[in-house]
Amino acid sequence: MGLCSQCQSFSHPSFYENALKPGGKLESIVLAQTGEDLAAAAATCTLCALFYEGLLHDSQRYGPGSNGPLRANHILLKPKIDPFGLSFPETAAEGIALFGFTLTTTETASGAALRCIVRLHAEGSRRWILTSV
């Protein structure tokens, strides 16, 4: 499985540029209009699948009756910026966190807020490791 065209367009310099400027703001983009759109993209895109799994995992805190990200509108994505390293406490031996994403949305039926953080790491001989928290 590869990456969809939207996920291929995320690049560290362009996506993070404004957030890294002094006084810059973390601008969100709409990753998907609906949870169903994200689920469809997750079938063919590794990163969308990780985003969907992260939101699905977060929805479980509302109980088994939650519709999770499938019934969500406007799934927003923004860069995960931590200039002090507090969000990425891993040591070099555990993997170096390069950058990450924060996703937020609201489940339409219940109004429950869903959120997940996805981190991209480089570790050992592997080029990328994707994790969701």
DSSP characters for 54-82? HHHHHHGGG-TT--GGGGEEEEEEEEE--
Here the tokens at position 14 are: 């362009």
What ranges do the domains of the chain cover?
5-132
Confidence check: pLDDT of 8 > 90:
no
Q: Where are the extended beta strands (E) located within the chain?
A: 29-34, 72-80, 96-107, 113-123, 126-132
pLDDT digits (tens, 9 = 90+) for 28-48: 888 999 989 999 999 999 989
Residue 114's SS3 state is strand
Of 83 and 8, the one with more pLDDT: 8
User: How do residues 54-103 score in pLDDT, each as one tens digit?
Assistant: 888 888 877 665 666 777 888 998 887 665 555 555 544 454 546 678 89
The predicted model gives 16-29 an average pLDDT of 70
pLDDT at position 23 over 90 = no
**Predicted confidence (pLDDT) at residue 107 exceeds the cutoff of 80:** yes
* pLDDT exceeds 90 at position 21: no
Sign of the four-CA dihedral 51, 2, 17, 39:
negative
